């Protein structure tokens, strides 16, 4: 038998096995969430705020955490986008490929990417003390924004790097400035990549518990202003799991199910959006 | 730096005539590499000038100097002058946007902008201040007709430009370049990615345009230069070896390297 064929066969099996392993663990997680969470998931749970303080009671729902999470993740993603896109464009369009400053910035961002979210939480808390800000939606959004910025910039940076130089030159040769080129040509060309960056950031932001633990606080109510504390799903799951009451523990799985569904919906929406926006890509 | 070599320049006059591109003592370094060595040449207005020579001889670099796209290449140092209508293109106070506006560029492979056919042609006029829809409609139609593309795309102006064939894309790039009303058309091997029929389209356009525009094109295809060029510049290893009217350079080359290139001994 041909040795090349054997080699090919072995590696093919290995690759398939790894892929299966990844898929299996994902489905196992979803299965366990569904098995424990689905029975406790009710309409009341997603439409009511909790009755009985910090989930110790069994009544009410987790609407406070759902809304809080969407506010926190949405706010930080939008704020992050306005900071990240200019930085990513600057690094690529205004700085050359061998620019030391740009590469130093990339290194810093990679380090920031790796910092655990609890450190961002502690940092955010320290800043809050400094400026006299109480645990609030605003402080939570700021802290999460700090956390997602490096992720967003680097994700956009990687796609902007792939824009062909000829395309940028084509725009320059028509008399466009770098700003016009960035805004009208590069941003359009990398729109799918920008959407992916937004999605990754949103996912990180909505799934993080540690950075908002100290900064946005926790409450049973839905915040009506940026200065009020806000609940969020990951912390709701944590608090519910920590109770000794089995029914409340099951509700933690139901909350996890809600969180997973939100991420699923966002992923599907971004896929649809990506398809819609790639039609002009060259 | 090497001292300026005395070469006979038949087109060079003391004053750079209106419309001519006059290159004076141009040197380009890419890091340690001396890419263009003391270039002195005048490119005549309203003619087709072909720059020929083997790969890596500096043809494209010279072309990129004219619209200052060379600025965006890392680690380049440019000395010398390129005069156009009494202004030095490399003057630190020169208005780069205005210089680039005067020159349309056709690159090796077409790069349509990531937008519709209409928006591609309207891109230049829009950034230079044309906002009125009716005016833009006229401009787009006029220049698509100029580039002989109108009949093929008039029913799908608002579809993505990337959906066109590569030959159509190159003509779209031509229309897009013409829409900013340039004086000069720069072609950097504009037909090298195209099929023979599309190449012929572009060549026809160049010949048709030469009364209106000054055309400078880099070409790898000697036959193309023979077909359409009025003047020929032969470059070799960063230097201009020979230049002059096309027939003179092609039929009676003075330098051995030129005749070797034309005969195909070097390429």
Chain A / chain B CB contacts < 8 angstroms: 86
Cβ A174–B108 below 8 Å, yes or no?
no
Predicted confidence (pLDDT) at residue A161 exceeds the cutoff of 80: yes
What average pLDDT score do residues A114-143 get?
Answer: 93
In percent, the amount of chain B with pLDDT more than 90 equals 63
Chain B residues in contact with A97 (beta carbon < 8 A): 74
Residue A196, number of CB atoms within 10 A of its CB: 18
The pLDDT of B37-61, averaged and rounded, is 91
Residue B131 in contact with residue A188, Cβ under 8 Å? Answer: no
**CA A132, CA B77: separation in Å to the nearest integer?**
53
Question: In terms of residue numbers, what domain contains A24?
Answer: 3-40
Q: d(Cα B245, Cα B44) in Å, to the nearest integer?
A: 11
Tell me the C-alpha distance between B246 and B252, whole Å: 10
What secondary structure, in 3-state letters, does chain B show?
Answer: CCCCCCCCCCCCCCCCCCCCEEEEEEEEEECCEEEEEEEEEEECCCCEEEEECCCCCCHHHHHHHHCCHHHHCCCEEEEEEEEECCEECCCCCCCHHHHHHCEEEECCCCCCCCCEHHHHHHHHHHHCCCCCHHHHHHHHHHHHHHCCCHHHHCCCCCCEHHHCCHHHHHHHHHHHHHCCCCCEEEEECCCCCCCHHHHHHHHHHHHHHCCCCEEEEECCCHHHHHHHCCEEEEEECCEEEEEEEHHHHHHCCCCHHHHHHHHCCCC
Tens of pLDDT along A19-55?
999 999 999 999 999 998 888 888 888 888 887 655 5
Question: pLDDT of A77-119, one tens digit each?
Answer: 999 999 999 999 999 998 887 889 999 999 999 999 999 999 9
Which of A95, A174, A279 to substitute to test the interface with B, most B CBs within 10 Å?
Answer: A174
Q: Give Dmax over CA atoms of chain B in angstroms.
A: 58
Q: What residues in chain A have their Cβ under 8 A from chain B's Cβ atoms?
A: 96-98, 164-177, 180, 184-185, 188-189, 279-282
The tokens for B114 are 């990531």
Tokens at residue B169, please? 């894309």
Q: Buried b vs exposed e over B138-147: b needs ≥16 C-beta within 10 Å?
A: ebbeebbebb
Does A103 lie in the same domain as A19?
A: no
pLDDT of residue A99: 85
**Do B124 and A175 lie within an 8 Å CB cutoff?**
yes
Are A7 and A100 in a shared domain? no
Cβ separation of B114 and A177 shorter than 8 Å? Answer: no
**Quick one: A27 and A158 in the same domain?**
no
Q: Per mean pLDDT, which range of A117-126, B70-79, B136-145 is the poorest?
A: B70-79
Q: Residue range B42-71: average pLDDT? A: 91
For residue A179, the Cα-to-chain-centroid distance in whole angstroms is 28
Residue B4, pLDDT above cutoff 60? no
Model-level pTM greater than 0.90?
no
In this structure, are strands B231-236 and B214-218 parallel, antiparallel, or unpaired? unpaired
What is the token pair recorded at A7?
Answer: 């080699």
State how far Cα A263 lies from the chain centre: 9
Q: Per-residue DSSP letters for chain A?
A: --HHHHHHHHHHHHHHHHHHHHHHHHHHHHHHHHHHHGGG--HHHHHS--BSTTTTSSBS-SHHHHHHHHHHHHHHHHHHHHHHHHHHHIIIIIS-TT-HHHHHHHHHHHHHHHS-HHHHHHHHHHHHHHHTPPS-HHHHHHHHHHHHHHHHHHHHHHHHHTS-HHHHHHHHHTT--HHHIIIIIIHHHTHHHHHHHHHHHHHHHHH--HHHHTTT---SSPP-STTS----HHHHHHHHHHSS-HHHHHHHHHHHHHHHHHHHHHHHHHHHHHHHHGGG--
pLDDT, position B32: 87
Which residue in chain B has the smallest CA separation from A94?
Answer: B72
Q: Contact, A136 vs A212, CB < 8 A?
A: no
Q: What's the CA gap between A137 and A141, in Å, rounded?
A: 6
Q: Are residues A167 and A52 in the same domain?
A: yes
Nearest to B109 among A166, A172, A189 (CB): A166
Tokens of A127: 């800043």
On the question of pLDDT at B13 being above 90, the answer is no
Q: For residues B177-201, b (16+ Cβ closer than 10 Å) or e, as one string?
A: bbbbebbbbbbbbbbebbeeebbeb
- Do A103 and A224 belong together in one domain? yes
Residue B114 has pLDDT above 60, yes or no: yes
What are phi and psi for residue B95, nearest 5 degrees? -90, 100
What distance in Å separates residue A272's CA from the closest CA in chain B? 18
pLDDT at B8: 46
Query: Which of B74, B108, B111 is nearest residue A98 as measured by Cβ atoms?
Result: B74
* One domain, residues A54 and A164: yes
| pLDDT single digits (tens) B210-226 | 889 999 999 988 889 99
Q: Domain check: are A36 and A115 in the same one?
A: no
Residues shown for chain A: 282
Q: Do B127 and A174 touch (CB under 8 A)?
A: yes
Q: How far apart are CA B165 and CA B194, in angstroms?
A: 10
What is the rounded distance in angstroms from the CA atom of residue A127 to the CA atom of residue A129? 5
Q: How confident is the model at residue B5 (pLDDT cuts 50, 70, 90)?
A: very low
- Distance of alpha carbon A107 from the chain centroid: 21
Give the residues across from B232 on adjacent strands: B50, B244
Q: Are residues A139 and A20 in the same domain?
A: no
Residue B100, both tokens: 């680039």
Local confidence band at A13 (pLDDT 50, 70, 90 cut-offs): very high
Nearest Cβ partner of A96 from B74, B98, B111? Answer: B74
- Percent of chain A at pLDDT > 90 equals 61
> Structural domain tally of chain A?
2
Q: What's the burial of B132, exposed, middle or buried (CB within 10 Å: 0-12/13-18/19+)? A: exposed
Examine the domain organization and report whether A176 and A224 are in the same domain: yes
Q: Report d(CA A85, CA A156) in Å as an integer.
A: 7
- Give chain B's end-to-end CA distance (angstroms, integer): 28
**pLDDT tens-place string over residues B29-38:** 998 889 999 9
A186 and A258: one domain?
Answer: yes
List residues in chain B touching A: CB distance below 8 A: 67, 69, 72, 74-75, 97-98, 100-101, 103-105, 107-109, 111-116, 123-124, 127-128, 160-162, 173, 176-177, 180, 186
Q: How many degrees, rounded to 5, is the angle at CA B20 between CA B14 and CA B21?
A: 90
Same domain for A187 and A224? yes
Distance CA(B216)–CA(B63), nearest Å, equals: 8
Collect all residues of chain B within an 8 Å Cβ-Cβ radius of residue A95. Answer: none
Contact B105 A96 (CB under 8 A): no
Q: Would you call B107 and A170 a contact, using CB atoms and an 8 Å cutoff?
A: yes
What CATH code is carried by the domain that includes residue A238?
1.10.3720.10
Same domain? A146 vs A133: yes
User: Tens digits of per-residue pLDDT, B90-108?
Assistant: 988 889 999 999 999 999 9
Res. A56: pLDDT tops 70: no
């Amino acid at each position: 038998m041909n040795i090349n064929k054997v080699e090919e066969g072995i590696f093919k099996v290995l690759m398939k096995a790894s892929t299966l392993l990844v898929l299996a663990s994902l489905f196992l997680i979803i299965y366990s969430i569904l098995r424990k969470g689905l029975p406790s998931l009710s309409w009341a749970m997603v439409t009511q705020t909790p009755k009985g303080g910090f989930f110790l009671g069994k009544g009410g729902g987790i609407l406070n955490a759902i809304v809080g999470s969407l506010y926190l993740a949405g706010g930080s993603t939008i704020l992050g986008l306005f900071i990240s896109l200019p930085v990513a464009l600057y690094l690529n369009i205004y700085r050359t490929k061998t620019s030391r400053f740009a590469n130093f910035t990339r290194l810093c961002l990679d380090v920031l990417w790796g910092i655990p979210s609890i450190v961002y939480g502690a940092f955010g808390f320290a800043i809050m003390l400094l400026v006299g800000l109480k645990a609030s939606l605003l402080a939570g959004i700021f802290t999460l924004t700090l956390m997602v910025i490096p992720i967003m910039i680097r994700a956009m940076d990687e796609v902007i790097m792939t824009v062909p130089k000829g395309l940028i030159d084509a725009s320059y040769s028509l008399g466009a400035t770098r700003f016009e080129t960035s805004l009208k040509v590069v941003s359009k060309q990398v729109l799918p990549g920008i959407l992916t960056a937004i999605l990754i950031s949103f996912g990180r932001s909505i799934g993080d518990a540690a950075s908002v633990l100290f900064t946005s606080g926790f409450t049973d109510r839905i915040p009506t202003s940026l200065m009020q504390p806000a609940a969020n799903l990951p912390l709701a799951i944590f608090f519910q799991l920590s109770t000794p009451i089995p029914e409340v523990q099951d509700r933690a799985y139901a909350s996890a199910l809600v969180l997973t569904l939100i991420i699923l919906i966002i992923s599907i929406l971004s896929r649809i959006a990506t398809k819609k926006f790639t039609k002009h890509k060259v | 730096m090497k001292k300026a070599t005395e070469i006979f320049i038949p087109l060079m006059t003391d004053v750079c005539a209106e419309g001519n591109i006059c290159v004076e003592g141009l040197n380009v370094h890419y890091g340690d590499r001396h890419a263009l060595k003391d270039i002195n040449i005048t490119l005549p207005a309203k003619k087709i000038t072909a720059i020929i020579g083997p790969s890596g001889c500096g043809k494209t670099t010279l072309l990129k100097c004219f619209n200052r796209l060379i600025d965006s290449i890392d680690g380049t140092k440019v000395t010398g002058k390129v005069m156009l209508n009494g202004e030095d293109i490399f003057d630190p106070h020169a208005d780069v946007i205005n210089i680039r506006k005067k020159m349309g560029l056709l690159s090796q492979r077409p790069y349509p902008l990531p937008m519709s056919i209409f928006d591609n042609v309207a891109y230049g006029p829009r950034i230079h201040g044309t906002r009125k829809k009716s005016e833009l409609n006229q401009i787009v139609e006029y220049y698509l007709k100029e580039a002989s593309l109108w009949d093929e795309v008039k029913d799908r102006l608002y579809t993505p430009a990337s959906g066109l064939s590569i030959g159509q894309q190159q003509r779209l790039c031509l229309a897009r370049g013409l829409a900013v009303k340039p004086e000069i058309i720069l072609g950097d091997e504009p037909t090298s990615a195209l099929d023979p029929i599309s190449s012929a389209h572009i060549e026809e356009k160049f010949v048709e345009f030469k009364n209106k525009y000054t055309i400078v094109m880099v070409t790898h295809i000697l036959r193309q230069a023979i077909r359409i060029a009025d003047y020929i510049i032969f470059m070799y290893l960063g230097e201009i070896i020979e230049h002059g009217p096309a027939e003179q350079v092609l039929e009676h080359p003075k330098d051995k390297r030129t005749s070797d290139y034309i005969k195909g001994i070097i390429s």
